[in-house]
Amino acid sequence: MKEKLKEWLTGLLGSSIMVLIVFGVVTVVALVSGNVMRLFGFHYDSVGQLLLYFLLGEVIGLPLDLISTALSRALYRMEKVDRRQGNLLYIPMDSLFTIAAFWLADRLMAGVSTTGLSLCVLGIGMAFLTLPIPKKEDRDRRG
């Protein structure tokens, strides 16, 4: 009985640490991106609203991000496109998906206000930071 309790508590502790790490990363991304977007007309009432906006935008955009990443990687692995073409396909697709997700999050929240320019900067910036096919994978494929 004690071993099961110890195992359960260890799992709970590990899960709690992972949730804190993920929330910390979301917080840093939200603060940096929010301040960059602020230069282009983004407004928010409080830091809590900013964090909630980015969390909601990421949750809405997660399925779309998975689709754009999977499509470009699948075409690359099937050898229909090379690494550069796969990444060039990913950038506009992910940018548009990110813009749509954060636009929808803006419409659902009253405490934030975005402009089209700030959404474009966010979408393009995030797409360039997360290219799905790294150079290492390209070298492995060529042998």
Range of 9's domain? 2-142
Q: For residue 143, what pLDDT is reported? A: 53
Residues 26, 28: Cα–Cα separation, whole Å: 6
What is the residue-level pLDDT of the chain in tens, covering all 143 positions? 788 888 888 888 999 999 999 889 888 888 888 888 989 999 999 988 999 999 999 999 999 999 999 999 999 999 899 888 988 999 999 999 999 999 999 999 998 999 999 999 999 998 988 878 777 765 566 55
Q: Which residue has the tokens 């506009």?
A: 92
CA angle in degrees (0–180, nearest 5) for 84-22-43 = 80
Please give the full DSSP string across 31-75, using - where no structure is assigned.
HHHHHHHHTTT-EES-HHHHHHHHHHHHHHHHHHHHHHHHHHHHH
Which pTM value belongs to this model?
A: 0.81
In the chain, the number of structural domains is: 1
